[in-house]
Structures are given as C-alpha cells and as structure tokens.
Structure 1
Amino acid sequence: MDAIKLLKTDHKLVKELLTQLEETSERATKKRASLLREIQINLKAHTTIEEEIFYPAFKKAGRKAEAKMYFEALEEHRAAEDLVLPDLLATDPASVEFSGRAKVLKELIEHHADEEEKEMFKDARELLSREELAELGSLMEARKEEVIASFG
C-alpha cells in the first residue's frame, strides 16, 4: 500500500473511533475506556509513522511551502497527543468533562486529517514518485506494526 493510502486509511479509522466515542453516554464507562485505548494506540502508531518516515520525506522533496506544512502538522500532532489526549485519558469516563474533551480531540483530528488530505497529500503526489510512495508505505507499515505491538 502506498504511503498516502495507508495514512488515509488511518485517518478514516481514527475518525470512526472518535465518532463512536462521541456518541457514547456517561453511563458507558467501559465502552469509553475501550474506545479511548484503541484511539490512543492508533493515534500513536499514526503520528509515529508520519513524523519518523512520511513528513521527513515530504519535507526533503519539497520547497518552502512544504516545510511550513511540515511544521504545522507537527504542532497539530503535539496539540492532540501531548495536550488534549493526556487530559482525556486522566478524565473520569463517567463525567461530562470527558464528553467535552472527546469532542475537542475529535475536532482537532478531523481538522488535521482534512488539511493533510487536501493539501499535503496532493503536494506529496506531485513531489514523490509512485515508487517512492510505495517504498515509504512499506516502511510505514512495518513501523506501525512495531508501535502497535509495543502497547502489548
């Protein structure tokens, strides 16, 4: 699978999980905890392969505009993964606060994924050959499996 298809598949999965999480009630604490764990694992695997493999290749192949996109994407990862997600993980799943934080995480992820798909991936298809995207995809799939396995 090429790198962009892999990333789009990840976006779709995480967005679906976040929608399921948003639709839960305060009483569904076990379901919320389970969905949150799945989101955490998939988000970590996704951001890792983007930051370690895809983004550097994109930045290297690009121009100044791509470098700007690269740094913006990193900041969006930081906001979701280092600020909102830890707060959500520390929040009681039976609380109203949980619902609010889950919604904010969902909105951040949706914005980030949509921006990547409309701008970054379009540029990446112009800057990188099919062969390069396929090679990146293979590296990313292998690294993604390692990250997921590290969660046990």
Structure 2
Amino acid sequence: MDAIQLLKNDHQAVKELLAELAETTTRAVKRRSTLLREIHLNLHAHTTIEEEIFYPAYKEAGDKEQAKMYYEALEEHRAAEDLVLPDLLQTDPSSEQFSGRAKVLKELIEHHVKEEEQDMFKQAKSLLDKTTLQELGERMERRKQEVIKEWKAAKAE
C-alpha cells in the first residue's frame, strides 16, 4: 500500500472512533474509556510514522511551501497529542467536561486531516513518484506495527 493510502486509512479509522466517542453519553463510562484507549494508540502510531517517515520525505521533496506545511502539521500534532489528549485522558469519563474535551479533540483532528488530504497529500503525489510512495508506505507499515507492539508491551507492564 502506498504511503498516502495508508495515512488515509488511518485517518478514516480515527475519525470513526472519534465520531463514536462523540456520540457517547456520560453514562457510557466503560465505552468511553475503551474508545479513548483505541484513539490514543491509533493517534500515537499514526503521528509517529508521519513524523518519522512521511513528513521528512515530503519536506525534502518540496520547497518553502512544503516546509511551512511540514511545521504546521507538526504543531497540529503537538496540540492534539501533547495538549488536548493528555487533558482528556485525565478527565472523568462520566463528566460533561469529558464530552467537551472529546469534541475539541475531534474537531482538531478533523481539521488536521482535511488539510493533509486536500493539500499535503495532493502535493506529495506530484512531488514523489509512485515507487517512492510505495516504498514509504511499506516502511511506514512496518514502523506502525513496531510502534503498536511497543505500546502494547509497555501497557502490559
């Protein structure tokens, strides 16, 4: 699978999880906790492969415009993973505050996904040939599996 299709598949999976989380009520404590764990793992694996493999290849293939988009995407990851998500993880799943924070995370991710798919991915397709995108996708898939395995091992300890 090429890099862009892999990332689009990840986007779809996370958007579905976030939509499901947004539809839960304060009474669905267990479901909210389970969904949040899945979202956290998926976001972590996804942002890791983007930041380690895809973004650097995209930036290197481009010019100032791609460099600007690269840094903007990194900041959006930081906002979601380092600011909003940790607060959500510390919030009581039975509270309305959880609902609000989950909505903010969903909106932040949806905005990021839209920009990537409409701008960055289209540019990447013209900057990187099919063979390169295929090779990046294979590297990203291997790395994603490593990250998931590491994550699960760390959570089992």
Q: Structures share a fold, TM > 0.5?
A: yes
- Structure 2 residue aligned with 1:59: 59
In structure 2, what is the Cα distance between the partners aligned to 1:125 and 1:60? 14
Q: Which runs of 5+ in 2 are unaligned?
A: 153-157
Q: Secondary structure at the match of 1:9?
A: helix
TM-score, normalised by the number of residues in structure 1? 0.99
- Structure 2 residue aligned with 1:138: 138
Describe the superposition over 1:33-83 as per-residue Cα deviations: whole angstroms up to 9, x where unpaired: 000000000000000000000000000000110000000000000000000
Kindly state the Cα deviation for residue 151 of structure 1 after the two structures are TM-superposed.
1.9
TM-score, normalised by the number of residues in structure 2? 0.96
- Structure 2 residue aligned with 1:74: 74
In structure 1, what is the Cα distance between the partners aligned to 2:42 and 2:85? 12
Is 1:26 aligned with 2:26?
A: yes
Kindly state the Cα deviation for residue 150 of structure 1 after the two structures are TM-superposed.
1.4
In structure 2, what is the Cα distance between the partners aligned to 1:147 and 1:26? 31
Kindly state the Cα deviation for residue 2 of structure 1 after the two structures are TM-superposed.
0.1
- Structure 1 residue aligned with 2:155: none
Q: CA RMSD in A?
A: 0.4
Runs (4 or more) in structure 1 with deviation over 3 Å come to: none
- Structure 1 residue aligned with 2:46: 46
Q: Which runs of 5+ in 1 are unaligned?
A: none
In structure 2, what is the Cα distance between the partners aligned to 1:133 and 1:151? 26
Question: What amino acid is aligned across from residue 55 of structure 1 in structure 2?
Answer: Y
In structure 2, what is the Cα distance between the partners aligned to 1:106 and 1:129? 32
Q: Secondary structure at the match of 1:24?
A: coil
Kindly state the Cα deviation for residue 149 of structure 1 after the two structures are TM-superposed.
0.9
Describe the superposition over 1:91-121 as per-residue Cα deviations: whole angstroms up to 9, x where unpaired: 0000000000000000000000000000000
In structure 1, what is the Cα distance between the partners aligned to 2:48 and 2:144? 8
In structure 2, what is the Cα distance between the partners aligned to 1:103 and 1:147? 26
